[in-house]
Chains A and B, each alone.
Chain A
Amino acid sequence: MQEIKREVLVNKASELLKNGTVDRVFGWKKGEFDYDITPALFTTAEDIENEFVWGDFCGANFSKYLIKETGKSENKVLVFLKPCDTYSFNQLLTEHRFDREKVYAVGVPCNGMLDTGKIKSSAEGISKVTDNGDKVVIETLFDGEITLDRNELLPDRCLNCKSKKHVAYDELLGEDGAVLDSNRFDEVEKLEKMTPDERFAFWQNELSRCIRCNACRDVCPACTCEKCVFDNPNSGVENKAATNEFEEKMFHIIRAFHVAGRCTDCGECSRVCPQHIPLHLLNRKFIKDIDSFYGEYQAGAEVGSRAPIVNYTTEDIEPGDAVRRNENA
């Protein structure tokens, strides 16, 4: 259950549309199923009144949409940002990917967004999902009503939420939260403790399910190249579908390297993966290493910050020491 009611968002959007602050609104709208909410661009108060959705399935992060949308018009676009979305927002500003002047950002508090995969695997023939405080009630076609604990249906990114604080907004609805002490690196540590063979087997198992739909890349707010290397015939690594086991891993590992130091750990990659590959763990491994080698760094915490891997200080760890530290870990 979200703290802020739908009406508050709808009223805010309508107000800003009517007073001319913005002429477009990024929001969520109903999809085929209750758990299948899709991002949408609204242009009239009427559409917003009828179709705007706010609830436990509004996970989509709109930051990346701003790159294209701000290029289309001189007028401002309204975007609703959950705390974790604001980090992506700042990171994109750091990289000069859109014009801040063309955006009106409204921060909305978030209680965590439910994991569609977990919902679908907990019930068959889902006809309706309603949230009710700590519980989620699922109506099904065959088994009647099933009530589950909300916590059991949260994805990793929400269970280990890194921050309830908005790091960017023009206006905030509700109360702002704080940066949290999360256990987000626990899973990474588990992987680190595996033997190389076990770890290889783990990733082999996960990544062999990849169907190269490119959803992770397309949704990732850090993946904003004009032309992706995987779409560029001149890059030498261009490919559409993996032809062998090596290429299955190559795509994801190259992607993790490309977003290293820029990934804000928003978790969109894992959210959209139709094969439920825990892709965010690859990025978290990088974040954890960067933190331990160069001191804590959160991409997107502020605009214009220099990620440790594109910065140099005389205190930087020597490459040899980094390797040794990893070996001893």
Chain B
Amino acid sequence: MQRIGVFVCHCGTNIAGTVDVKAVAEALKTEPGVVFSTDYQYMCSQAGQDIIKKAIAEYNLTGIVVCSCSPRMHEATFRKTAAAAGLNPYMVEIANIREQCSWVHKEVPIGTEKAIILAKAAVAKVNLNAPLTPGESPVTKRALVIGGGIAGIQTALDIADAGFPVDIVETKPTIGGKMAQLDKTFPTLDCAACILTPKMVDVAQNDKIRVFSYSEVTEVGGFVGNFEVTIKRRARYVKEDICTGCGLCTEKCPQKKVPNEFNLGMDNRSAIYIPFAQAVPKVATIDPNHCMKLKTGKCGVCSKVCTAGAIDYEAKDEFVKEKYGAIVVATGFNPISMEKFDEFAYSQSKDVITSLELERLMNAAGPTGGTLLRPSDHEHPHTIVFVQCVGSRCEACAEKGKEYCSKICCMYTAKHAMLIRDKYPDTEVYVFYIDVRTPGKNFDEFYRRAVEEYGVHYIKGMVGKVSPEGNKLKVQGSDLIYGRQLHIDADLVVLAAAIEPDKSARPLATMLTASMDTNDFFTEAHPKLRPVESPTAGVFLSGTCQGPKDIPETVSQAGAAASKVIGLLCKDKLTGNPCVAHSDEMMCNGCSTCEKVCPYGAISYVDKEFRMPDRTTKVRRVAVVNEAVCQGCGACTVACMSGAMDLKGFMNKQIMAEVDAICK
């Protein structure tokens, strides 16, 4: 029989406000196995932990139940407390009477009753607990960064700086991401290329960093410290190691009518292309959808002009398998499609553009060489209307927009407005906004400068309709402060499109078994205390894949993710989880179902001799679990119809005992 101690935490008023903690401690005193029961204001504090340690010694406890917050929060804390007092840490059970009880109930009698039931269930489980000892697993000292934007670049550089090899996988032919497309950056107005491209060069020159550009992750196996990842290197039809990036092929290529995605389709590129002059790796890529040689077999100009002999029309997709200790997700964002926002006439007029398109139009390396010209007639626009929150904070229009704030639009619009007024003082700039949100160092000052020094017309209210008429865009909007309708004849309308996670994130999250929110942003392990870690061990988050962020925030988060990775890769061994599966070979019938559902390949089969009751010997095929590989997910235990497979620490009979205690 166990000797169990029950410790009920008040959590200040978090629990004690809705649960009569004294009554819980009292009620548990008579449960089978319980020899001691008490309550305290903050069980996780030094004083609270001392109460537990003292009770373990004084009452000779063999198991403890802490009625407190979620085990995600403090299970590890109390396990350490138990270990310090000489008790096996796996003899500790947490009854979650905060998140699953006091926080969801309002009335004390109901909260108290439920807290008692949850505590009884935990006691019923501890009665069946057995001491467990964790094993160890090695750590592969290499990191994978998925996404080569500023987030991925910074994370990779920081990890490499600590001496660990890093691979970057980027779907585009070059790293750089969205930042490479930007013109200037707020709030200091330094040019994006000037601060980004040196980092890209650092990546290229760092011998610890490998860049798999034009590639994607197709399969992820394994677990923290021991991931096994398959990377698909899409055929670029140019040998990366031979191409010098001279660009002659892109000049001679006869197919020059391919919309240039780097300039968001506002000009054309050739079928063989280098996305931009500072691309890393600086090698050409053949677009198989437009290359005449690949489509019809006729052409081959690039191959003829290439002095290095880098062109390879026969190239095939290649698959690389590599082991990693940690994975950083940095898949970034895209502006949402404006197709559904008919009221702003985006599909009808070339002069209704998104803010990212405006970045390209103002960029010296963009389609207009940095002179702001209307896409339709290449004239200087004299009246420009910015529309904020297009698809952001869009509760009513959830089908086309997003409920969240995209966070960066207020600041970049202030930047655009300011830059335009600075360069073209004869241009009138109007900004329609719901709110202007400028928290951040020097952000509000920046916005006020746009209004006060640069004379940008900020109008609180939304644009109702944009209608193209002749070469003008008739903008109808409401001015909520003056309570009037405004009609503006604009030359250019710029939409601050909401941003959304890249479409590759969802399938990637599935491969990584990392959780996402309803908007497909990756979920962090704890919003405050573990913001750069995914709940899946060994998977870290960097940049906008986790939520909308500007560049300063992205870079700091990228560094934080890198430091977490470094902390992991520094370890030679990881302490495993002793809650692993175990097969009862007398019950196992060798059907292979568990092997099929095991995501870690931890189960194999052996033929084993069994002595039968009639003294004969029988050879049977039975399952064997590799405890070093098993991650304790429990998939096998539910798939096993014989009930042979069980999970240590979460045995079927323990769970049934909990259920019984709750239903009693």
Contact = CB atoms under 8 A, between A and B. Distances in A.
Interface in A270-329: 306, 310-312, 314
Interface residues of B, number: 24
A311 B596 contact: yes
Contacts of A224: 589, 591
A95 B587 contact: no
B348 interface: no
B590 A310 contact: no
Contacts of B592: 94-96
A310 B618 contact: no
Contacts of A71: 618
Contacts, number: 52
A310 B597 contact: yes
B589 A229 contact: no
Of B641, B642, B653, B656, the most chain A CB neighbours within 10 A belong to B641
Contacts of A236: 652-653, 656
Interface string B578-590: 0000000011111
B596 A258 contact: no
A232 B591 contact: no
A225 B587 contact: yes
Contacts of A258: 641
A71 B620 CA distance: 10
B491 to A, nearest CB: 46
A52 B656 CA distance: 50
B647 to A, nearest CB: 16
Contacts of B644: 226
B621 interface: yes
B593 interface: yes
A235 interface: yes
Contact of A225 (B597, B641, B653): B641
A96 B641 contact: no
B510 interface: yes
Contacts of B589: 95, 97, 224-226
Interface in A194-226: 224-226
Interface in B607-664: 618, 620-621, 639, 641-644, 652-653, 656
Interface string B336-367: 00000000000000000000000000000000
B504 to A, nearest CB: 12
Interface bracket on A: 20 to 34
Contacts of B643: 225, 229, 232, 235
Contacts of A312: 597
Contacts of A227: 586-587, 642
A235 B597 CA distance: 22
Nearest to B593: A310
Contacts of B590: 95-97
A167 to B, nearest CB: 19
Contacts of B641: 225, 258-259
B639 to A, nearest CB: 6
Contact of A310 (B510, B596, B605, B620): B596
B86 interface: no
B653 A96 contact: no
A258 B639 CA distance: 9
A320 B642 CA distance: 28
Interface in B301-343: none
B507 interface: yes
B611 to A, nearest CB: 14
A235 B642 CA distance: 10
Interface in A226-273: 226-227, 229, 232, 234-236, 258-259
Contacts of A95: 589-593
Nearest to B599: A312
Interface in B556-615: 586-593, 596-597, 605
A314 B510 contact: yes
Contacts of B605: 96
A77 B656 CA distance: 43
Contacts of A225: 587, 589, 641-643
Contacts of A229: 642-643
B597 A226 contact: no
A311 B507 CA distance: 17
A226 B591 contact: no
A226 B586 contact: yes
B214 to A, nearest CB: 22
B10 to A, nearest CB: 36
Nearest to B510: A314
A96 B591 contact: yes
A97 B641 CA distance: 14
A236 B590 CA distance: 22
Contact of A226 (B596, B642, B652): B642
A43 to B, nearest CB: 20
Nearest to B660: A236
Nearest to A92: B591
B553 to A, nearest CB: 31
A290 to B, nearest CB: 15
Given A95-B590, A97-B590, A225-B587, 17 more contacts: A95-B589, A96-B591, A96-B592, A96-B621, A97-B589, A224-B591, A225-B589, A225-B641, A226-B586, A227-B642, A229-B642, A229-B643, A234-B653, A236-B653, A310-B593, A310-B597, A312-B597
Interface of A: 71, 94-97, 224-227, 229, 232, 234-236, 258-259, 306, 310-312, 314
Nearest 3 interchain pairs by C-beta = A95-B591, A225-B642, A258-B641
8 contacts: A71-B618, A95-B591, A226-B589, A236-B652, A236-B656, A258-B641, A310-B596, A312-B597
Interface of B: 507, 510, 586-593, 596-597, 605, 618, 620-621, 639, 641-644, 652-653, 656
